[in-house]
Chain A
Amino acid sequence: MDPSRKRKIRLVVALSAAVLLAAGLVYTSFSASTEAKEPSQILHADPGHTYQLTGKVVPGSVHHSGDQLDFRISDRDGSDPIPVTYTGTVPDPFAPGREVIVTGKLENGTFVGERDSLVTKCPSKFATTTTGRAS
């Protein structure tokens, strides 16, 4: 087989592999993903579906009872608080006023978080400073 034909075959094989990988990526990512929503959006969302809920922990709403954690989560601007109930690891930075992400389903008006799905964002290093001075 002459070299230029070898090279063409190699190129075709490589490109086909790349296309297959890309197709696989695209196909599985849509089916494996969870949709992200904010509290204001979740009230209008499909109740049976699993969603990734992002928002701020409402200060004063945090209750630990045994293994269970209950709190209210609101949009970043504080509106539309909804109750969340969750069991599992509570990340270290979790605190009222912090932004959190929790995956789960809305059941009877309460968002039930999947076990160990709670993620808390690190305290804002990169937002406006606490003295109110814009960065």
Chain B
Amino acid sequence: MPVEVRHHDHGASQLTLLGSALLAAALIAGLYAAGAAVQGARRHDRRWVDSARRAVYAVAGLLTAAVVILEVAFVSDDFHFALVADHSSTTTPTFYKLTAMWSSQEGSLLLWAWVLSLASSGVLYMTRRRHREIVPWATAVLAAIGSFFIGLMIFKAQPFARLDPAPAEGTGLTPLLRNPYMAVHPPMLYSGYVLWSIPFAFCVGALISRRLDASWIRTTRNFALCAWTFLGIGLLLGSRWSYEELGWGGYWGWDPVENAALMPWLVGTAFLHSVMVQEKRGILKVWNVGLICGTFCLCLLGTFLVRSGVLQSIHAFGASTVGGPLLVLIAVVAIGSTLLIVTRLDGLRPERRVDSLLSRESIFLVNNVLLVGLATVIFWGTFFPLISEFFTGEKHSLAAPWFDRYVTPLGVLLVLFTGLGPLFAWGRLSGDAARRLLLWPVLAAAASIGVLLAVSDAGGHPWALFVFGFAAFTLVALAGEFRRAGATRRALTGEPFPRALATAVGRNRRRYGGYVVHAGIALTLIGIAASSSFQTNRDLRLRVGQTAKVGDYTIDYRRLSADPRNERIAFTAQLDVTRDGKHFATLNPARNYYPTQDPSAGAIGRYFMGESTSEVGLKTGAGGDLWTAFQPDVSTLNPDIVRGNRMLANAGPVAQGIAIDVLAQRYAQHPPPASFRVIVNPLVGWIWIGALIGVAGAVMAGWPALESRRRLEAAYRARLGRELGAANPPA
């Protein structure tokens, strides 16, 4: 096929070179920043540290310019950019042109490096006058990581690769990625991964400079919370997309790449809780440095797994050039942090002992163990093919049932601890208080289990029953905490209860925001337990006009309609669903057939030899979802396709279009039996609702507090004045 040579004006076509130059400059600036920061750290010379910080700002600016150039190229269809030619086309909608940048290896690396540079600039700006000992080393770590990713781009995966001459049309975006969830999922996930590097860098700085008190934790607390939140949103979006867009009806498959994002999230959750213990009680210091280094290594591992082809998964592809260097980085980070921790163990000694099991510290310690245990199980299962190959020479893989078997008990225990943590206080909880606090939650758990056993067949699913019981425990415990907050304040100030509650919660957003997150988690786990244990799943084969019964629903396949278009052919089934004789829903699952570029498929055949996507027919409700997917039998079109290919081999697009139209409409009038998958998913919507509540809680917890504390602090100083003994006037 002859390629049309496009005549660009000379100026625009040189942008690829400018982009490459910006990357090269960013690499140099990044390496300089790392070197200057180390120089400043060892010589205690502020000028080198300031210079290093400015270099990090420069990297952020240079990468921002690079991103802008690339996005402009996408939007303006500049096919001199190889990336644009391979992942976009003139017919791609503008929104997807913008998001296509990170659908490629090169673009996603650029995104990684860019977000890292922005976050690093932010944290370095905020700490520019503080933490003199730690910041230089943290700067060096962040600059080194950034330089690594920029170097990866320049030498292995150049985003600004050039095509001369530029092709007339681009390949376009894979239909599967033409979806808002999939467009937003990568930036959320990468932001999550990248933001964990901030607390990691400060931890390394604290270890190197032996400033092992909680200051590195305090400074980076909000970054850790943001990282955790973004990673959670990434997981949420990925699973929602899988449920809503793919034709298998599940939201989690224990695929290696799903696990790669879940593991750092779990260990990060442990970190977020464990650092609270260090701040308040001065213990678990070794846990904390270990957890953050572990979280960051798992983030790098997650980035690596998607690109290396090392494990068989939906996302892992053939060996790419980037896998090797990433593995080296992971090894360096893992070994380096281990060495640092081991040589600083004396500085990480606990300031106190855990004296009582009935305390929040103990709960959090068990929490750490549970979460790390869960991550370990998932790690083992994910990497088992490699482990087994190492020991036996054969690759063995583990599927979802094995994961479910081990993850379920740990997950169920976690639900319980989600409720225990908020109930217990720092320091020892008296036996009396424990009895009083646990009474209502335990009653709620027992009642809910009893009711469920009586009215449903939940008895056959013990794990789900435990989840429901523990979730009831947790939700009642959290409600009790809120009630106590309001009641205590009301007793103190006499305000009406709602105002007392609002003020008490507003004064301690970190704690109560955290409780909201816990409530969200409990709801999500209820949704997971219900939808996995009580699901009804049927595969049906129906002719038009046939009905079938699935659970309480009667499904009636009314008709098939065809919508043939240039960019795809869609077949839609109309299903009328009734329950108890009344109309419940009309579902329209569909199947889209996208043409392949392969010329050997034939003029008509190319539509059915390319990719096809499912449109799920979904009816959501508070009690559950009705989910359907549809697979028409297009094999009956084969004789027509063969004939059409032959007749229209040299016909123009108009004739082809008419032929497709006729073919599609004829099929719609006399369709053969089609396959349907129908799933009744109880309570599955609560997974998403719970997750959103969790995100809201995290935002509430992290929201910066207004500095109207002057009076409060002066009051404290006055109270402590006697003990101060000095004649200093209050600040």
Contacts and interface: CB of A to CB of B under 8 A. Distances in A.
Interface of A: 3, 7, 14, 18, 21, 24-25, 28-30, 32-37, 52, 54, 59-60, 62-67, 76, 88-96, 99, 101, 103, 116, 119-127, 129-131, 133-135
A35 B392 CA distance: 11
B176 A36 contact: no
Given A36-B397, A92-B246, A126-B306, A25 B176 contact: no
Interface stretch (B22-30, B515-523, B607-615): B607-615
B533 interface: no
B317 A121 contact: yes
Contacts of A95: 596, 609-612
B353 A3 contact: yes
Contacts of A65: 635
Contacts of A36: 312, 385, 394-397
Contact of B677 (A62, A89, A94): A89
Interface of B: 82, 85-86, 103-106, 156-158, 161, 163, 167, 171, 174, 176, 245-248, 306-307, 312-318, 320-322, 353, 355, 369, 373, 377, 380-381, 384-385, 388, 394-399, 401-402, 405-406, 539, 541, 596, 598, 600, 609-614, 629, 631, 633-635, 673, 675, 677
Contacts of B381: 29
Nearest to A92: B613
A29 B398 contact: yes
B317 A125 contact: yes
B395 A35 contact: yes
A99 to B, nearest CB: 8
A9 B105 CA distance: 51
Nearest to A115: B539
A54 B394 contact: no
The winner among B245, B355, B394 for most chain A CB atoms within 10 A is: B394
- Nearest first, the 9 A-B pairs at minimum CB distance are A33-B396, A36-B395, A64-B635, A126-B105, A129-B86, A32-B402, A124-B317, A135-B157, A92-B613
Given A29-B380, A103-B399, 10 more contacts: A30-B388, A35-B395, A59-B600, A65-B635, A89-B248, A91-B247, A93-B176, A121-B313, A126-B105, A127-B318
Contacts of B395: 35-37
Contact of A125 (B105, B321, B396, B397): B105
Nearest to B186: A125
Given A67-B541, A91-B248, A126 B317 contact: yes
A123 B176 contact: yes
B633 A129 contact: no
B609 A33 contact: no
Contact of B611 (A62, A67, A92): A92
Contacts of B157: 135
Contact of A130 (B171, B248, B369, B600): B171
Contacts of A94: 612
Nearest to B163: A131
A60 B609 CA distance: 8
Nearest to B405: A28
Contacts of B396: 29-30, 33-36
B213 to A, nearest CB: 23
Contacts of B394: 35-36
A134 B321 contact: yes
Contacts of B613: 92
Contacts of B246: 91-92
Contact of A90 (B85, B320, B385, B631): B631
Nearest to A62: B609
A111 B714 CA distance: 79
B86 A130 contact: yes
Given A52-B397, A133-B161, A76 B106 contact: no
B598 A59 contact: yes
Given A122-B176, A126-B320, A29 B384 contact: yes
Contacts of B321: 134-135
B388 A33 contact: yes
Nearest to A66: B633
A76 B318 CA distance: 9
A135 B156 contact: yes
A129 B406 contact: no
16 contacts: A30-B396, A34-B396, A66-B635, A99-B317, A121-B314, A122-B174, A122-B315, A126-B105, A127-B318, A129-B82, A129-B104, A133-B161, A134-B321, A135-B106, A135-B156, A135-B158
A32 B176 contact: no
B633 A126 contact: no
Contacts of A121: 313-317
A51 B529 CA distance: 30
Most buried by B among A35, A63, A65: A35
B176 A92 contact: yes
Contacts of A130: 86, 171
Nearest to A36: B395
B677 A28 contact: no
